Structures are given as C-alpha cells and as structure tokens.
Chain A
C-alpha cells in the first residue's frame, strides 16, 4: 500500500500565468467570508463563556 505523505513534495509552485479578475474577486470574497466566520466564532465563544460565568455566579 502506498503511504500518504504530508510533506510538501514538489519542485515548484505557480507559473500558471496571472490571476484573472474573477479569480481575484473570488479570493477577496473568500477572505472576507473567512474573516466574518472567525469573528462570529469568537463572538459565540465570548457569549458562551459569559453565560457560563453568570450561571456560576447565580
């Protein structure tokens, strides 16, 4: 059986020409959405810990 390797095993990356406008827009959209996701996750975490500490106080 072939072993799955997690080490980067290439001699080069890229060289496929410039990004198209659509690709640039897709990257920006992904980064924006990813940022929002992280923010809401952090917010949810804060709310949960607030809830937990107010429960403990009660």
Chain B
C-alpha cells in the first residue's frame, strides 16, 4: 500500500499586508503584521507611555506577540497584540496601540481594528473558524457589540464568532 505523505500544518504567519490611515492627511500606508521579538520589545516600555508590560507578555510561553508596522518601516511599532491559540479559539490577551496612536491626537487610525482582524484571521488559519475571545470592561461591552459585532456571553467575556470575524477580515483585509 502506498504510504500517504503527511502534510502538517506547522506554519507561522509572518506577514499580512493591510493599511492604516494618517488622521491628519488621510493618506493610507500599507502595513504588515509580524511576530515581535525581544529586540522589538526592548523599546516598548511603560516609561515611554505604553500602558502594559509587554515584556511580561513576551515571557509567557503560550502567548505570541505580533507587531503592526508600516511596510519598509519595521522599526516603528504601531501597535501590539498578545494572542494565545486555545483548543477551540484564539484568546486575545491584550491589544494596544502605540502611544502616538492613542487618544485625540493619534497619528494613525485603524491600528487596533487591524490587529483584531489579524487575530480573527489567525483563528481561521488555525482551524478555529474565526472564533476569538477577549475580556472587556463592563462599560465597553456595548461599544464592542456595536463596533466589532462581538457577542457578550456574560461577565466580562466577549466573543467574535465566525460571522463577526468574516466582517472584520473583509473590512481590514479586503481582497
């Protein structure tokens, strides 16, 4: 009997191209999402107005940290996401825009949405049908329902199901 060659799905997503928009000029810049390494995260510190301890996230073995950067400008991180591939979905531990992309004076819009859409895409690629979960503060639950089409399943847990994931992917990664 002919032995079937096993083809494993042992792949790493290293790049996905999309764009973010300069708030002032309205210009779009192509972006890519790639795995962040320890050198990338050395410049991501609370003293530089990042809100979370990304080095701690990086040190958690079950989590992967991805960075969003503008194409041909990999040194400037526009935002970060910490993801864990669970048995039936992808859990989003943390997503944060770079300090210069926060608040009313942000330089680029679309950073966070872009990274959430990436999490959905990763979920599809890992066979979890786009399902992504994350935690929300109670006052933001309705905002995530309105903006991401997320489902609130009680407590602080929100879920992006297949339908919501497809909407986000189509919005942020159009063909």
> A residues bordering B, Cβ < 8 Å?
4-17, 19, 23-24, 26-28, 30-31, 34-35, 38
Contact = CB atoms under 8 A, between A and B. Distances in A.
Interface string B61-98: 00000000000000000000010001111011111110
Contacts, number: 89
Given A12-B52, A14-B92, A15-B94, A30 B151 contact: yes
Interface of B: 51-52, 82, 86-89, 91-97, 101-103, 112-113, 116, 129, 131, 133-137, 140, 143-144, 146-148, 151, 153-157, 159, 161-162
Given A23-B157, A26-B153, A27-B153, A13 B134 contact: yes
B159 A12 contact: no
B131 A19 contact: no
B159 A27 contact: yes
Query: 10 shortest A-B CB distances, which residue pairs?
Result: A12-B96, A11-B102, A14-B94, A8-B147, A16-B135, A13-B95, A8-B113, A30-B153, A15-B94, A11-B97
Contacts of B137: 16
